[in-house]
Amino acid sequence: MVHTDRRTFLVAAGASAAAFGLAKPFAIIPSASAASLQDQGFYKFSIGDTDVITVYDGHWDKPHDPGFIKNATIEETKAALQAAGQSSENVRIPFTVTFVKTGGRTIMFDAGTGAQLAPTAGRLVAGMKAAGISAEEIDTILITHFHPDHIFGLMAKETNAEIYPNAEIIVPESEFAFWTDPGVISRLPENRQGLAKRIQATFPKWSNLTRFEGAKEVTPGIVAVPAHGHTPGHTAFAVGSGKDQLLVMADSSNIPALFVRNPGWHAAFDMAPDEAEASRRRIFDRAVTENSIVTGYHFGMPGAGRIEKDGAGYAFVPLA
C-alpha cells in the first residue's frame, strides 16, 4: 500500500503540473477530501440551472493481470498507479453513478452494480438515500452500455424483477441490437454469455424501455454523444451546452491514473480497442476545447472534474 501524506502529495502534484504547464495540480489526488467523499457516499455541484450528484457504488480491487492492458505491462501499470499516488498492490476500479436534476426531473445515468458483482460494490442505495434521492422520484434512466456494472442495478438478483418500473429507460439502439441478437451468445466468450442471456430475458420484455440511435436529443436538454468501441453502442451524454456543459463520459476511459494519462492504452474491457481509443481521444479533446465538466463511471469520488492536456496524454483534475 502506498501511503502519501496530503501535503507531500500536493507539493509533488503541483511540481508536476508546473512541469507540464498545467494550471492545476495533476488529477487523481487520493486526498482526505476524496476519502471523506467516498465515506459520505455522494458529491453535489451545479452547472447552470442543473444540479448534479455523483453517488458512490463501491469498488472492485482487481488483481494484476498481464491481459488487463493489452499494450502495457504489469510493471508499467504499477508505475502509473504509483505516479498518481495510488496503491500498486492491485487495480482499484471504483463505480460512480451520475444523477442530474433539471426542469423538475431526476435523471440517472446507468444503474450501478445492484450489489451483484464485487463484494465491495453495492453502495448505491445507501448513497442515494444520503444524497436525498429516492428511487421513486427518478423519471428517466439513460443507459450508456450494457456491461453488468452499469445495468445490474436495473434488475433484482434472483428474479430479474425491474427495480425502476415507473422510470423511462433509454438505451442505444446499436447496443440493444448487439446484445439481444439470438446468435450473439454463441459468438461471445463464455464469461460474457450469461450477461447476454440475462439481457435477452429482461430488456425486450420491459414496456418502459425505449431506444435511440446516433447523436440526438434523447430527453429534453440531454444529447447523446456516440462513443463506440468499448462496446458496439457505448454512448456518452452531453447535458447543457458551452461553459455550462456536463459530459457524462461513462466508460470512455477507465480509471484516470491509467487511461486518461495514457489514452493509447487498451483495456481488456474494450471490445474494439482501436475504436475505443479513437472515441476516448475525441471525447477528451471535446472536453478540453469546451472546458466542460466531465463525470467518469470509474473515476472514483468526487467522480467529476475537468480534462486537461498533459504532454502526449491528458490529466483529470477533480472538482474536489
Tell me the pLDDT tens digit for each residue of 132-147. 999 999 999 999 999 9
Distance between CA atoms of residues 61 and 89, nearest Å? 9
pLDDT at 15: 34
pLDDT at 242: 67
Mean pLDDT of the 270-280 span: 98
pLDDT band at 244 (very low <50, low <70, confident <90, very high): confident
pLDDT at 26: 37
CB atoms inside a 10 Å sphere around CB 214: 10
> Is 74 in a helix, a strand, or coil?
helix
Position 10 in a domain: yes
Distance between CA atoms of residues 135 and 133, nearest Å? 7
Distance between CA atoms of residues 142 and 110, nearest Å? 6
Position 69 in a domain: yes
CB 202 within 8 A of CB 247: no
Q: Give the burial class of 117: count Cβ atoms within 10 A of its Cβ; 0-12 exposed, 13-18 middle, 19 or more buried.
A: middle
Find cell 498492490 and name the residue. 89
Of the candidate ranges 11-15, 109-113, 237-241, 270-274, the one whose mean pLDDT is the lowest: 11-15
Q: Give the burial class of 204: count Cβ atoms within 10 A of its Cβ; 0-12 exposed, 13-18 middle, 19 or more buried.
A: exposed
What Cα–Cα distance (Å) separates residue 176 from each residue in 170, 171, 202? 10, 7, 12
Distance between CA atoms of residues 51 and 39, nearest Å? 21
Residue 208 has pLDDT above 60, yes or no: yes
pTM, to two decimals: 0.89
pLDDT at 16: 35
The domain that holds 215 is classified in CATH as: 3.60.15.10
Position 288 in a domain: yes
CB 99 within 8 A of CB 105: no
Could you tell me the end-to-end alpha-carbon distance of the chain, in angstroms, rounded to an integer? 23
Position 286 in a domain: yes
CB atoms inside a 10 Å sphere around CB 170: 21
CA angle 21, 25, 30 (to 5 degrees): 150
In the chain, the number of structural domains is 1
- Burial code (b: 16+ CB inside 10 Å, e: under 16) for 35-60 equals eebbeebbbeeebeebebbbbbbbbb
Average pLDDT value for the chain: 90
pLDDT at 236: 98
Point out which residues pair with 100 in neighbouring strands. Answer: 52, 107
Point out which residues pair with 53 in neighbouring strands. Answer: 44, 99
Find cell 507540464 and name the residue. 20
pLDDT band at 34 (very low <50, low <70, confident <90, very high): confident
pLDDT tens-digit profile of 144-200?
999 999 999 999 999 999 999 999 999 999 999 999 999 999 999 998 999 999 999
Residue 7 has pLDDT above 50, yes or no: no
CB atoms inside a 10 Å sphere around CB 305: 22
Residue 2 has pLDDT above 50, yes or no: no
Beta strands in the chain (DSSP E): 42-47, 50-62, 91-102, 105-109, 138-142, 168-172, 209-212, 217-219, 222-226, 235-241, 244-248, 293-295, 304-310, 313-318
Distance between CA atoms of residues 202 and 169, nearest Å? 12
Distance between CA atoms of residues 229 and 276, nearest Å? 4
pLDDT band at 35 (very low <50, low <70, confident <90, very high): confident
Position 107 in a domain: yes
Position 1 in a domain: no
DSSP conformational letter for 152: G
Mean pLDDT of the 300-304 span: 96
The domain in which residue 254 lies consists of 6-318
Position 309 in a domain: yes
pLDDT tens-digit profile of 23-32?
443 334 444 4
47 against 241, higher pLDDT: 47
